[in-house]
Amino acid sequence: ENAGYTEMRAEIDAHNKKNKILKQGLGIMPVKFGISFTTAFLNQGSALIWIYIDGSVSVSTGGIEMGQELNSKVALVVAKVLGLPFEQIRVESSHTQRTGNASPTAASTGSDINGNAARIAAERLKNNLTPIAIMLLKERFGVDIPEPVFEDGKVSAPDKSEYAINFKELVQRAHMERVALGSYGYYATPDLYFDRDMGKGHPFHYFVYGAAIARVEINTLSGEHRLISTHIVHENGQSLHPEIDKGQVMGAFIQGMGWCTMEELVVDAKGRYLSGNPSTYKIPGIRDLPEYLDLQLIPARSREASVFGSKAVGEPPFIYGMAVFFALQDALRASRSGAKLHFPATPESIIMALA
Distance CA 308, CA 311 (A): 9
Distance CA 255, CA 242 (A): 20
Q: What pLDDT sits at residue 120?
A: 98
324 within 8 A of 218, measured Cβ to Cβ:
no
Query: Positive or negative CA dihedral for 127, 128, 129, 134?
Result: positive
Examine the pLDDT at 174 and tell me if it is beyond 80.
yes
Q: Which domains does the chain have, with CATH numbers?
A: 5-36+204-354 (3.30.365.10), 40-188 (3.30.365.10)
Q: What pLDDT sits at residue 162?
A: 87
Going by the DSSP 8-state scheme, the letter that residue 81 receives in this structure is: H
Q: What pLDDT sits at residue 1?
A: 75
What's the mean pLDDT in 124-139? Answer: 97
Examine the pLDDT at 203 and tell me if it is beyond 80.
yes
Q: What pLDDT sits at residue 196?
A: 86
Active-site residue, from 217, 235, 264, 315: 315
13-36: per-residue pLDDT in tens?
999 999 999 999 999 999 999 999
What's the mean pLDDT in 183-207? Answer: 93
Q: What pLDDT sits at residue 2?
A: 79
**315 carries an active-site annotation:** yes
Q: Which residues pair with 231 in a beta bridge?
A: 213, 294
Q: Which residues pair with 184 in a beta bridge?
A: 48
Nearest to 308 by CA among 49, 59, 78: 78
pTM for this model (two decimals): 0.91
pLDDT confidence bin for 278, thresholds 50/70/90: confident
What's the Cα-to-Cα distance from 85 to each of 61, 81, 90, 129, rounded to whole Å?
20, 11, 11, 17
What's the Cα-to-Cα distance from 89 to each of 49, 159, 172, 206, 331, rounded to whole Å?
10, 27, 17, 29, 51
